[in-house]
Amino acid sequence: MTDPGVPSADLHLAHLRIEAEVRAGFDRVLADSSFILGPEVETFERAFARYCEVDHVIGVANGTDAIELALRSAGIGKGDEVIVPANTFVATAEAVVRSGASVVFADCDDHFLLDVDDLPRVLSERTAAVIGVHLYGQCAPMEEIRRIVGPEVLLLEDAAQAQGARRFGARAGSLGDIAATSFYPGKNLGAYGDAGAVMTPRADLAKNTRDLRNHGGTARYEHRMLGLNSRLDGLQAVVLNAKLAVLDDWNEERRVAAALYDALLTDVADVTTPLTLPGNEHVYHLYVVRVPNRDEVHEQLTANGIATAIHYPRPVHLLEPFLPEQGMPRVLPRSEQQSAEILSLPIFPGITPQQQTRVVDGLSEALSSTTTMKKEALR
């Protein structure tokens, strides 16, 4: 029998748990021909607003659009600066550029989150927004960011990796002026294609976002501004409604799996397990450890059928589109060190203790092997 290995995620397993609800919902959409926006989207927007404890949710086409729309809804664009942590997916910074604003990168702390101690150095008179990226499943310290930047600067949450997480009891998506999320299939709350949403307590930002996602207006052939074609599909809303009903259960399964990893890795040398920022309730979108000889360890695990990943192998300020035209990029020491050491272990609802034990045994073996090879190479 072929060894199935250990996947980094198991989307098929998740589908089996909601298959009946999804098929019934697809039948409703097909019967109504409500493929773009429509009643299923409205149902999801209301349900997700209740879940995130915000007044408004606007379904959009993807998470990158969601960030751009959130910025543009507040009038942020050319001449403005937006602070972004360097340890994030490129889409966070890409959306800032698409809005017309300039990206300013800040370093990260030991929790992989935006380093609030680095904020005063990168603030300027042009700072219009700060994006707190809720990375790997836990929230950025939005209240600390607010204390430093003041009330005039827009606080935007990139909540794509923290659906269901809480900070001091408040849900991700309710901690700033406005929030954006992605429902890419691998997220804790994932669609069956691209999808996203903007969340906000503010009626003015919600109104602007609803218009902007639909070519700049909510009425047919009436356009009060230049917008995007970025609307959530009815079929994707069906999937999101079905998954939202079990999201808390799935997040609890992720926490149980993370606790088991913590226990199994206690005596494994050279592994730094993830830290949770005080006040956070983690949902472990990813379980990210730090190891020496990361690339070699990753390759050996892959060869042994264990699907680890790297989120992310290079901080965004070192990616080609964001390198300065002249001179060296600014040094962000923590982000750069982390990018050379981080490794995402498999974690998903339904992962078994046996699979996790195999992962840890494989990781321990790979660390021992690569350390021995390094020592021999230095002789």
* DSSP states along 81-97: EEEEESSS-HHHHHHHH
Looking at the fold, whether 216 and 364 belong to one and the same domain comes out as no
Q: Indicate the pLDDT class of residue 221, thresholds 50, 70 and 90.
A: confident
- Predicted confidence at residue 187, as pLDDT, reads 97
For the chain, what's the residue count? 379
Asked if pLDDT for residue 35 goes beyond 80, the answer is yes
Q: What average pLDDT score do residues 277-282 get?
A: 98
Has residue 6 been placed in a domain?
A: no
- Could you tell me if 290 and 330 lie in one domain? yes
Pick from 166, 97, 165: nearest CA to 131: 97
Q: Is the pLDDT of residue 372 over 70?
A: no
d(CA 350, CA 13): 7
- Considering the domain architecture, whether residues 223 and 285 belong to the same structural domain is answered as no
Q: Look at residue 327 in the predicted model and tell me its pLDDT.
A: 64
Could you give the CA distance from residue 379 to residue 367 in angstroms, rounded to a whole number?
19
Tokens read off for 6: 């250990």
* Model confidence at 1: pLDDT above 80: no
Select from 313, 246, 304, 215 the least CA-distant residue to 14: 246
pLDDT-derived band at 322, boundaries 50, 70, 90:
very high
What rounded mean pLDDT belongs to the chain?
94
- What is the structure's pLDDT at 23? 96
What's the domain count of the chain? 2
Q: Which structural domain range is residue 300 located in?
A: 247-378
Task: Please report, rounded to a whole number, the percentage of residues in the chain having pLDDT higher than 90.
Answer: 88
Q: Is residue 236 located within the same domain as residue 121?
A: yes
Q: What is the CATH number of the domain that holds 194?
A: 3.40.640.10
pLDDT at 219 (0 to 100): 77
Task: Tell me the per-residue pLDDT of 162-184, one tens digit each, with 9 for 90 and over.
Answer: 999 999 999 999 999 999 999 99
- The pLDDT, as a whole number, for residue 226 is 87
Mean pLDDT for the stretch of residues 76-92: 97
Domain end residue (candidates: 187, 212, 244): 244
Is 3 within a domain?
no
More confident residue, 4 or 234: 234
| pLDDT(324) > 90 | no
172 and 283 co-located in one domain: no
Examine residue 2 and state whether it is found in any structural domain, yes or no: no
Is residue 309 situated within a structural domain? yes
Please give the pLDDT value at position 359: 97
Residue 41's closest CA among 237, 192, 183, 235?
237
Summarize the confidence of residues 95-112 as an average pLDDT.
Answer: 96
Q: State mean pLDDT over 294-311.
A: 96
- Give the H or E element holding residue 30: helix 11-32
Give yes or no: residues 135 and 284 share one domain: no
Please, are residues 286 and 311 in contact by the beta-carbon 8 Å criterion? yes
Mean pLDDT of 238-251: 98
Strands 196-200 and 56-60, by their bridges, are antiparallel
> Which residue, 181, 216, 244, sits at the end of a domain?
244
Q: What pLDDT does 133 receive?
A: 98
